[in-house]
Amino acid sequence: MSDKRYPVPAAFAAQTHIDEATYQSMYRRSVEEPDAFWAEQAETFLTWYKPWDKVSDCSFDADDLHIRWFEGGKLNVTYNCIDRHLDSRADQTAIIWEGDDPNDDKKISFRELHEQVSKLANVLKARGVKKGDRVCIYMPMIPEAG
């Protein structure tokens, strides 16, 4: 394995949300105190409808192999990914899609994404899909599959 490191260009580093020292500190904490670290991240960046009972439950035993996160907790992924951004970021880009052709791309705002998700949700409801049902949709590589 190579130990080569490439410096981050200054212009790119200036646009990041955290600096190198903060990243290293966060990484260290994620390894040394994973449950405390991930609990803090989950509380800071997600809205929970019901708090979790346990951050993680991991077993690497061959007879009982499992990894579970935030057991007992409930959240709404659509709310966390789309809805909560509408008040302050509705017209900002939520998804950047790039096709195989470098000239083929599309940007979808939070508002547009919310409208499209709402339309699909209403179609599924009209077809009898309800809470707890599982739905699988096969789609080609188009922006809406992002």
Instruction: Spell out the domain ranges in the chain.
Output: 76-146
CA–CA distance, 80 with 47 (Å, rounded to integer)? 6
Cβ distance 96 to 80 under 8 Å?
Answer: no
What does the pLDDT look like over 9-45, one tens digit per residue? 999 989 999 999 999 999 999 999 999 999 999 999 9
**pTM assigned to the model:** 0.78
Give yes or no for a contact between 75 and 47, defined as CB atoms under 8 angstroms apart. yes
CA–CA gap between residue 66 and residue 59 (Å, rounded): 5
